[in-house]
Amino acid sequence: PTRPTTSHPSLQHLRPGAVLTWTATVADGWYCGYLGMDRGRQARHYGEVPSFLARLDLTYPDGRTETLATGPHWDLGEGTVRYADLLMGQLTDLTVSVTWSGAAWSQPP
């Protein structure tokens, strides 16, 4: 179940007309990473490929509502995390340029 949030500390930083970017880092984790000590099936207990599904419901002060959700219009970019796994650890490459910032990012239709 979800509960509505009417106030959040980060809201004080929003400016009218500002362009916001919603990002997520996706890694193997529980879903398809190494889990447990079963040598016959060390990884991919729940699935083969990590994925991301999200929905954000917005209600504006004037009563209008808007839903932002993941879908085919979302852009995919490469981040600094090379792998992140519960048992194998995480490798972050800070020499990688994040591709979703600056000119590489475009507003969805």
pLDDT given at position 92: 92
pLDDT bucket at 103, cuts 50 / 70 / 90: very low
- Cβ atoms < 10 Å from Cβ of 27: 16
pLDDT given at position 5: 57
Summarize the confidence of residues 40-49 as an average pLDDT.
79
* Mean confidence (pLDDT) of the chain: 76
Write down the domain spans for the chain.
Answer: 19-109
CATH number of 19-109: 2.60.120.260
Strand locations in the chain (E)? 55-59, 65-69, 81-85, 89-92
Summarize the confidence of residues 43-59 as an average pLDDT.
84
- Cβ atoms < 10 Å from Cβ of 28: 20
